[in-house]
Structure 1
Amino acid sequence: MDSRAAPGRAPRGPRPPGTVRIAAAAAHFGRDLDFDLARIGKIVSDARDHGTDLLVLPDAALGGYLADLRRPDPDALPEALKPDDPLIHEIARLAREMVVCVGYCEAAGAARHNSAVCVSGDGVLGRHRKVHLPAGETVAYTPGDRFEAFDTPIGRMGMLIDYDKTFPESARSLALDGATVLACLSAWPTSLTNRAPRLAQDRQARLFDLYDQARAAENQVVLASANQTGAMGGMRFLGQAKVVGPGGDILARTWSKAGLAVAELDVAAEIDRARRILSHIDELRPAAYRTGRPV
């Protein structure tokens, strides 16, 4: 790779032509929307200091995630925001020339969605409603029904929200729709049933990294994975924000602490290099695959 961040260190200074800087954030967010917006503003400012072109914030950065995934309290859910809420317009204003992806609870009539929106100073670039809901989330949210890529100043992108990336079809659908960069916004906790004494030994910590690397490598795309940190109710979040290259290699990461994982790369050149001999998208044999649920 011509230029990239070493793990844990953000690139600074001039960049080679054709490269972009991609940042994934690890940070804690809660129910206080004013606090959340102030924290987003600080992260955007820090990302701008690094010359970031794309910033991916965690799932539920506006309003926080559920406090209990096994038995969510219907009276203690995040505030649901309309798709044109002033807070989203304010994040677009803060973004200016940067592309910023952020997660929130979306109000859609009587329904609520775990949603993400991608904005810049020009307005909304793309939206996604989480399709795959773990059991507890079905109490709080209505699932989305599609994966769609969209065009941005850094290229064609798609978004996934945490559990979505467990399903290979999610990322593959976006890659087939032309996405070269995937933004994965998560509020991914440690294991709820078998919590390990050390985070590095936690089953969900291993799976979180595994899914990030596999989804990038199998589709030969760049993936920016943001996650919450800290705790809410009985949930302890992993952090582990990272940027993954199209070969599945981690280019930058935060480990469990809050911060920014920033990597610099030429997305088109790296994808062309990854697909030079084996092009997974071109070599698909969809007629051989079973679709739908098992019989």
Structure 2
Amino acid sequence: MTLIRIAAVAAHFGRDLDFGLQRIATLIDHARQAGASVLVLPDAALGGYLADLRHPDPEALPPALEPDGPHLRKIAAMAAEMVVCVGYCEAEGEDRYNSAVCVTGDGVLGRHRKVHQPPGESIAYAPGNEFTAFDTPAGRVGMLIDYDKTFPESARSLAVDGAEIVACLSAWPTSITNRAPRMAQDRQSRLFDLYDCARAAENQVVLASSNQTGAMGGMRFLGQAKVVGPGGEILARTWSKAGIAVAELDVAAEIDNARRVLHHLGERKPASYRGAS
């Protein structure tokens, strides 16, 4: 039996990179004290997310960072033995991407550029074009960012590529068009939880879902960080407040148990799925 602790963060991050690094250092320290081997920080933890999703101001975008620049090197050094996933705005020439990187003290383990973009985000970011899992000391991991998890094919691609843990990094807001008076009643709050549980259960993997809290411009973020087991059960959660959800489990054993009778990946019929390509 190999028990590990997986931690998912709900916290607020803004434009101040130095403050963001300080907050990340504190969160890594708290996760280490909790015995976590894997820590999933939110999307846009370095530099914050967009202040207006429908009409992003080109003059007020998050700072674009080099993928091997000093800020990410500092996070890798902080991570040391821990596997840490963090979101940031990636610079590549004239393009910028909503990106995530997974690191330990030894360096970069994996990268992801957000593929699926809600309306308006394409003004600020270029899209990524692939979903790839990668090996880490805690097992094989894949990453999704925000809207990626709305599409079943995203997590399924990672599971087919052998991902045991899917890290979903989000800056997921309440409904922009029809905000409810209470966050618990908000349509996006319900969907955020639904997607987390469905993506874990349909692929029979462990899912760690982080999210921003607080507000950025007209955006109000949900929080609701959680760790979900391969049966779709929520093992730990933060609700809407800032915090760290930590769950201890034997990832391989839990996945094997979930797939013992019904093995979803092995029972697929790709030839029968119209429009699958």
Pairwise TM-score range, normalised by the shorter structure: over 0.9
Residues 126-170 of structure 1 deviation map (CA, whole Å, 9 limit, x = unaligned): 000000001110000000000000000000010000100000000
Q: What is the deviation of 1:291?
A: 2.6
The ranges of structure 1 where at least 4 consecutive aligned residues each deviate by more than 6 angstroms after the TM superposition are none
Q: TM-score, normalised by structure 1?
A: 0.93
1:177 and 2:161 aligned: yes
Unaligned runs of 5+ in 1: 1-16
Q: 2: CA distance between counterparts of 1:250 and 1:107?
A: 35
1:56 and 2:3 aligned: no
1:189 and 2:173 aligned: yes
1:231 and 2:206 aligned: no
1:153 and 2:149 aligned: no
Q: What is the deviation of 1:290?
A: 1.8
Q: 2: CA distance between counterparts of 1:273 and 1:200?
A: 32
SS of residue paired to 1:135 = coil
Residues 215-274 of structure 1 deviation map (CA, whole Å, 9 limit, x = unaligned): 000000000000000000000000000000000000000000000000000000000000
Within the candidate set 9, 28, 44, 2:28 is matched to: 44
Equivalent pairs, count? 277
1:287 and 2:271 aligned: yes
Q: 1: CA distance between counterparts of 2:155 and 2:231?
A: 15
SS of residue paired to 1:114 = strand
1:216 and 2:205 aligned: no
Q: What is the deviation of 1:73?
A: 0.1
User: Matched residues, percent identical?
Assistant: 76
Q: Does the aligned pair in 1 maintain the 2:270–2:276 contact within 8 Å?
A: no
Within the candidate set 52, 60, 64, 1:80 is matched to: 64
Within the candidate set 271, 274, 280, 2:258 is matched to: 274
Amino acid of the structure 1 residue aligned with 2:201? A
Residues 29-50 of structure 1 deviation map (CA, whole Å, 9 limit, x = unaligned): 0000000000000000000000
Residues 149-203 of structure 1 deviation map (CA, whole Å, 9 limit, x = unaligned): 0000000010000100000000000000000100000000000011111111000
Amino acid of the structure 1 residue aligned with 2:3? T
Residue 20 of structure 1 corresponds to 4
Residue 125 of structure 2 corresponds to 141
